[in-house]
Structure 1
Amino acid sequence: MSYCTHDEVRALLKFDAVSQIITDNDGVEDPEEREAILAPLIDEAIADADGEIDGYLAKRYTVPLTPVPKVINKFSKDIALYNLFSRAGLDPDGREGNYLTRYNAAVKFLALVAEGKVSIGSETSDPKTAAATGFALHSNDRIFSRETMKGM
């Protein structure tokens, strides 16, 4: 189960972006051959994105999330695209800077979710369950009470 699909990520890649991603195979012009090279790269990028997301969410949620909240789907695509473009190196000042910015926003959001400052709006985000797994308080038995302090 993935937080985004192969087709969703592929739809976000334009022709020149594909050329940049499959740089190891310069000169491949046949569309079918390009797709055959690109497909496992997309699948690997999605799997890596899912693992990264689960790493943040596992503290507060049962992962993988089902159904997938829309915000997680969006950030999964952003992280997967970043993973694809970072294979060949990103120029933060160039066109690829947008992918880095979106990746950083996704990581920041996921960190806030992990800290409990932001909710993903998932049905699995029961506040009682999150509180039970994210916080515990232990103390010693009470020493002073009205009964033990009588006569003082």
Structure 2
Amino acid sequence: MRYCTLADIQQAVPLATLIALSNDDPRATAIDLVVIERAVRSSEEMVDANLRGRYLLPLATVPTVINDITVVLTRHWLYARRPEGPELPKAVTTTFTDAMQSLANIRDGKLTIGIPTGEKAPEPGKYKVRAGVKWFNRKDSLE
């Protein structure tokens, strides 16, 4: 399931800006959907990298917080692909930093995404434990 849509991105970025950020041709008049798809995919992978091991992926439903974070990451990706342009707007960098912090908090269990089945996912494979030599037993320590 996609974490955000083109409509979500269009609500966060004005159409003229989105056309300029997604096209290499300055005379373009339409959004380059291939570039938008790459930006969204990159953002979704970043979100998944932080959710992996804590939530079962792919998410069956997309919580609002994940949608919002993905939109912010996508917007930042689109602005950052223009290194020759002016500095990124402060709002873009600030919200990006906040979104990355939110992902870290979700990953560390300090923030929940509101999914009822948000238990930790079991790790694949078996656990193996190796114990050292037993130096004392209970009887020896009581004497």
Normalised by the size of structure 1, how large is the TM-score?
Answer: 0.74
Matched, 1:81 2:54: no
Q: Distance in 2 between matches of 1:114 and 1:56?
A: 5
Q: Is the 8 A contact 1:46 1:76 kept in 2?
A: yes
Matched, 1:122 2:115: yes
- Number of residue-to-residue matches in the alignment: 136
Normalised by the size of structure 2, how large is the TM-score?
Answer: 0.78
Shift of the alpha carbon at 1:7? 1.7
Matched, 1:144 2:137: yes
1:48 alignment partner in structure 2: 42
1:111 partner letter: A
Distance 1:6 1:22, change over 3 A: closer
- Runs of 4+ that moved beyond 6 A: none
Distance 1:118 1:50, change over 3 A: same
Q: Provide structure 2 residue ranges, at least 5 long, that are not aligned to the other structure.
A: none
Indicate the structure with greater helix content.
1
Q: Distance in 1 between matches of 2:50 and 2:22?
A: 29
Q: Distance in 1 between matches of 2:141 and 2:90?
A: 71
For the aligned residue pairs, the C-alpha RMSD in angstroms reads 2.8
1:91 alignment partner in structure 2: 87
Q: Distance in 1 between matches of 2:80 and 2:46?
A: 15
